[in-house]
């Protein structure tokens, strides 16, 4: 019985693997007019996977296994549980709607790209509304009795997450971080030196070095380019990152590479004992983002990290020879309200997320429609960051997520930031992190994360992992304390 | 009934589309250790396509349609015929062997790459033997009564092709081209000026220009890099080429780009009325190669073509400012026995094919084994080209084809060369080609080929197309005459 189950899982994993490659291709390679056919292929294969999961044969198999859960190994048991939950969700969705939606999001991504490139929100808003409508509809199918349907989609990315918890989280950001930002803005910033010409070829070489330095295994992964950087795993032996190079702002690609490498190392360190199971990938979006943001901010924007690699950085960016490491540290931590989330500094980043969180919430409550977004976006940007975009391409159109059907995903970034600080505090108890970084012993960091988090894949829930490491669950207090301490020191603020 | 048939075809085309993307990914992107899982996915999807084609339902449907062939449109009719032939072939092959073979060739390509990079034929020879054995076995399943099984595989790529016809073809090459080559070698060559440093970035820009100039539509196609340049079509709106850049030999990439663009333009010009059918792609390998070699040699190595684009070429390759177009023309037509087929000049090219043809024939007859190939390869190179490789990586390991299961494919290159001259002679009757090229009116060439060849896809057989255009079938005489005329002029030979 277990054997039949495994054989079905193997089949599903092959379809999912093919879908990952197609998704990767769409974002890194497919020519404009080829997107339509590819989206049909994606719809077709998604449907094939759906058919396996919802087949009478498979459901019966699963029911039998469920009736005997305690006789299973922990891995088999967890797999059965996760799949049962997924099927429970899926079986409420009519298959034609499911297929329609999976094709819709592929097409929408093409249209989003055009809309962004041409700064024309109008051509995209209907598709976006449709995506929201479908997401809402699916959430309703799924939990008819749920008062707050936004909670249903939040749970897709972070089990147990609720609007109530997030409201508390973002309320504390409003109370503590928005005023801190205002103080910093009043103080002003040093003149930037880090925007300088560096050829794309040269940037690529340095970014490759950084990936290797952090411990990304290039025999089991690749780095390419895309408009919107992302990480995708086919399996632990095939992990793919993208970054985006801009000739005169080399540090944009560098932090993006460090961020995605954080995701990538997570996937590459999944335990071998999970091979062939659906547990063989990263856990919730929140814990995934905790890893990327840990590498990007806590490691990547620390002085100790750059001490370990500064001479190498100077080789690829000769202008750094004229900049002391103290000045460099200040520069990579400049706080400045800006328009683009992915290029935001560590402090303002979560405020960008707050804008998206509030919009998703209101769209779900039906108070607003997709057509209202540009206006509302800009109002919220003014309210929290003090600036608003002149062009929608730098505003509501900047992110691909919603076009890709990822609604309820954005809060994971903020959760990830909060988790990352909790993890950092725990890691400090086991090693002198600054010393490790100065010595360039990046493997020590990687191994610690591998052992405490990565190896488990989806075997353990995020909550469980965080509790084991830190002794408590999500607590935004540490994150806010960390930000206040770090930035009051950099800006000489007395808070 | 026709509707059910169309719906099955649509399904097959989606699976084939996914397989094309996976194949593309394997050759341009997949990390080394990711190849294994990807090969399993390829095996799985190949099997799914096989299951559709061989399902009772589909075969019955096809039988019904076949019993009523004359009531069908020409397009439907041709489709039914081709699919029936394919199924006829497939149904003799046990499905487990079919799946095994499709995974084998993916794995073999990975091993071939390692073997080539490390110049180690040993690690690859067993896999190669296995591929030959399976190909032979499948040929046997397919036509038990065929005396010459090599003819069976030749037919996979060129309908109606036989060892007998090819023997005549290659015999005339031996008689006419080998002595011509010896005369040219005796005369000696001018000192080469075209090997100079040009950055990869700059080369990419010029190659892109060339692609656009020839008429490749980049909204419906992409160009990337791979070890072995190739063209792949997902459909006419998604046509993909690769090329390979070498810093100090920019003209290597240029001729490779022109060659692949010839394939690419063919695919992009398939008639819209064939959309959604299995006829919507290029015809036999021979006719496909006739298009790439037409662009590469007849166009790309002509003086008139370069007259039309020489000032642009000088912009990207400043050294050309010091070279007259007459000298340039002589240089790009230098005849010199060399080791690598893809970099061979127009005259010696077919001799490289002859080496492969003879080896395939002998392997099929059982006279030799894969383990003997390095030795035999080198002997034949000496015999026909007067030189032999020092390293297998430059000899028997140079091409990916056999690793990919393409046995019987190589002769198509020679056939393509022969067809290309027959097509050229026909085109000359309709336009002053030299004038068209000098004026840079590349669309005229493209449209002529589109109208006479490309639009038909697989609706017409190669033989039929060639007869319509030229009034006769394959005839190597024109090709040999063309070579003799062109090269005796360049080398001032009296032959």
A371 interface with B at CB cutoff 8 Å: no
Q: Name which of A194-208, A426-440, B188-202 the model is least confident about.
A: B188-202
- Set A79, A125, A176, A260: catalytic member: A260
A–B CB contacts, 8 A cutoff, strictly below: 112
- How close does chain A come to B277, measured CA to CA in Å? 13
The answer on pLDDT for A52 being more than 80 is: yes
ipTM of the modeled complex: 0.88
Axis-axis angle for helices A2-28, B35-54 (nearest 10): 100
> Quick one: pLDDT at residue B299?
97
Query: Tens of pLDDT along A188-212?
Result: 888 877 888 888 889 999 999 999 9
> Quick one: pLDDT at residue A295?
98
The answer on pLDDT for B494 being more than 90 is: no
> Quick one: pLDDT at residue B495?
67
Q: Is the dihedral of CA A331, A337, A342, A343 positive or negative?
A: negative
Joined together, the tokens standing for residue B166 give 């090819």
Q: Which residue of B has its CA nearest to A26?
A: B21
Pick from A27, A444, A39: which is nearest to A225 by CA? A27
User: Cβ contacts (< 8 Å) between A33 and chain B: which residues?
Assistant: 219-220, 237-238
User: Cβ contacts (< 8 Å) between A36 and chain B: which residues?
Assistant: 237
> Quick one: pLDDT at residue B95?
85
Considering only residues 96 to 115 of chain B, which have any Cβ-Cβ distance to chain A shorter than 8 Å?
none
Q: Which residue of B has its CA nearest to A20?
A: B22
- Inter-chain contact B31–A237, Cβ cutoff 8 Å? yes
Query: Tens of pLDDT along B182-193?
Result: 999 999 888 887
Q: Which residue of B has its CA nearest to A237?
A: B34
pLDDT (mean) for A124-134: 97
**Cβ neighbours for B404, distance < 8 A, ≥ 6 positions apart:** B105, B108, B109
Q: How confident is the model at residue A228 (pLDDT cuts 50, 70, 90)?
A: confident
Query: Tens of pLDDT along A278-298?
Result: 999 999 999 999 999 999 999
Q: What percent of chain A has pLDDT over 90?
A: 84
What domains sit in chain A, N to C, each tagged with a CATH number? 2-91 (no CATH), 126-495 (1.10.1370.30)
The answer on pLDDT for B61 being more than 90 is: yes
pLDDT (mean) for B471-491: 95
User: Cβ contacts (< 8 Å) between A45 and chain B: which residues?
Assistant: 14, 18
- How close does chain B come to A403, measured CA to CA in Å? 21
> Quick one: pLDDT at residue B193?
79
Q: How confident is the model at residue A494 (pLDDT cuts 50, 70, 90)?
A: confident
> Quick one: pLDDT at residue A237?
96
Task: Please state, as a whole number, how many other Cβ atoms lie within 10 Å of the Cβ of residue A57.
Answer: 10
Bridging pattern class, strands B221-225 and B238-243: parallel
- Kindly list the distances between the CA atom of residue B359 and the CA atoms of A237, A450, B122, B348, B396, in Å, as whole numbers in the listed order: 37, 52, 18, 18, 10
B197 interface with A at CB cutoff 8 Å: no
The answer on pLDDT for B76 being more than 80 is: yes
The CA distance from B241 to A445, in Å, is 42
Annotated binding site of A for Zn(2+): 259, 263, 289
Q: Which of A18, A24, A30 sits opposite B238 (nearest CB)?
A: A30
> Quick one: pLDDT at residue A495?
67
Query: Tens of pLDDT along B210-240?
Result: 999 999 999 999 999 988 899 999 999 999 9
- How close does chain B come to A248, measured CA to CA in Å? 17
Query: Tens of pLDDT along A465-474?
Result: 999 999 999 9
By the 8 A CB rule, do A172 and A476 touch?
Answer: yes
By the 8 A CB rule, do A433 and A423 touch?
Answer: no
The answer on pLDDT for B245 being more than 70 is: yes
> Quick one: pLDDT at residue A482?
97
User: Cβ contacts (< 8 Å) between A240 and chain B: which residues?
Assistant: 29, 31
Residue B242 phi/psi, 5-degree rounding, is -125, 160
> Quick one: pLDDT at residue B201?
86
A11 interface with B at CB cutoff 8 Å: yes
- Kindly list the distances between the CA atom of residue A82 and the CA atoms of A95, A153, A262, B186, in Å, as whole numbers in the listed order: 20, 16, 25, 75
Query: Tens of pLDDT along A109-120?
Result: 989 999 999 999
- Inter-chain contact A25–B30, Cβ cutoff 8 Å? no
Query: Tens of pLDDT along B422-467?
Result: 999 999 999 999 999 999 999 999 999 999 999 999 999 999 999 9
The answer on pLDDT for B90 being more than 90 is: no
pLDDT (mean) for A84-105: 88
pLDDT (mean) for A387-393: 96
Strand partners, A241: A223, A231
Query: Tens of pLDDT along A303-329?
Result: 999 999 999 999 999 999 999 999 999
User: Cβ contacts (< 8 Å) between A51 and chain B: which residues?
Assistant: none
Helix intervals (H) in A334-475: 346-365, 373-385, 411-430, 433-438, 442-452, 462-470
User: Cβ contacts (< 8 Å) between B37 and chain A: which residues?
Assistant: 17, 234-235, 237-238
Pick from A181, A238, A106: which is nearest to B31 by CA? A238
Joined together, the tokens standing for residue A214 give 């952090």
B17 interface with A at CB cutoff 8 Å: yes
A30 interface with B at CB cutoff 8 Å: yes
> Is B260 annotated as catalytic?
yes
A222 interface with B at CB cutoff 8 Å: yes
Average pLDDT score over chain B: 94
- Set B260, B296, B346, B360: catalytic member: B260
Q: Which residue has the higher pLDDT, A193 or A396?
A: A396
The CA distance from A72 to A68, in Å, is 7
């Amino acid at each position: 019985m277990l054997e039949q189950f495994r054989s079905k899982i193997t089949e599903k994993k092959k379809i999912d693997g093919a879908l990952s490659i197609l998704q990767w291709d769409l974002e890194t390679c497919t020519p404009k007019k080829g997107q339509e056919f590819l989206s049909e292929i994606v719809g077709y294969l998604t449907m094939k996977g759906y058919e396996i999961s919802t087949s009478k044969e498979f459901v019966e198999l699963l029911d039998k296994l469920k009736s005997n859960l305690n006789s299973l190994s922990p891995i088999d048991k967890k797999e059965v549980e996760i799949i049962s939950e997924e099927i429970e969700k899926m079986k409420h969705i009519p298959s034609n709607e499911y297929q329609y939606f999976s094709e819709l999001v592929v097409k929408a991504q093409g249209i989003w790209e055009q809309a962004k490139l041409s700064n024309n929100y109008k051509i995209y808003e209907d598709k976006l509304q449709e995506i929201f409508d479908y997401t809402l509809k699916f959430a309703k199918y799924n939990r008819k009795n749920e008062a707050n349907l936004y909670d249903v989609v939040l749970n897709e990315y972070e089990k147990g997450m609720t609007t109530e918890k997030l409201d508390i989280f973002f309320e504390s950001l409003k109370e503590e971080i928005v005023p801190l930002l205002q103080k910093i803005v009043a103080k002003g910033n040093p003149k930037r030196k880090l925007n300088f010409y560096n050829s794309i070829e040269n940037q690529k070489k340095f970014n490759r070095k950084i990936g290797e330095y952090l411990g990304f295994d290039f025999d089991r992964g690749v780095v390419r380019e895309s408009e919107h950087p992302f990480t995708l795993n086919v399996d632990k032996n095939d992990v793919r990152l993208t970054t985006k190079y801009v000739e005169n702002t080399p540090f944009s690609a560098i932090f993006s590479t460090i961020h995605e490498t954080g995701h990538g190392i997570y996937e590459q360190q999944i335990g071998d004992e999970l091979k062939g199971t659906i547990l063989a990938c990263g856990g919730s979006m929140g814990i995934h983002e905790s890893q990327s943001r840990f590498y990007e901010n806590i490691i990547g924007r620390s002085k100790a990290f750059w001490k370990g690699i500064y001479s190498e950085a100077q080789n690829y960016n000769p202008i750094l020879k004229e900049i002391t490491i103290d000045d460099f540290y200040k520069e990579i931590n400049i706080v400045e309200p800006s328009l683009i989330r992915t290029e935001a500094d560590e402090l303002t980043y979560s405020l960008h997320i707050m804008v998206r969180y509030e919009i998703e919430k209101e769209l779900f409550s039906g108070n607003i429609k997709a057509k209202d977004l540009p206006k509302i976006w800009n109002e919220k940007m003014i309210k929290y960051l003090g600036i608003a975009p002149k062009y929608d391409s730098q505003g509501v159109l900047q992110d691909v997520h919603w076009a890709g059907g990822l609604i309820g995903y954005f809060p994971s970034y903020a959760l990830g930031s909060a988790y990352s600080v909790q993890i950092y505090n725990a890691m400090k108890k086991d090693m002198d992190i600054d010393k490790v970084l100065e010595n360039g012993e990046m493997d020590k960091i990687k191994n610690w994360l591998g052992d405490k988090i990565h190896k488990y894949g989806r075997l353990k829930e995020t909550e469980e992992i965080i509790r084991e490491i830190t002794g408590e669950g999500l607590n935004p207090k540490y994150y806010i304390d960390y930000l206040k301490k770090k930035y009051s020191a950099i800006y000489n603020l007395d808070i």
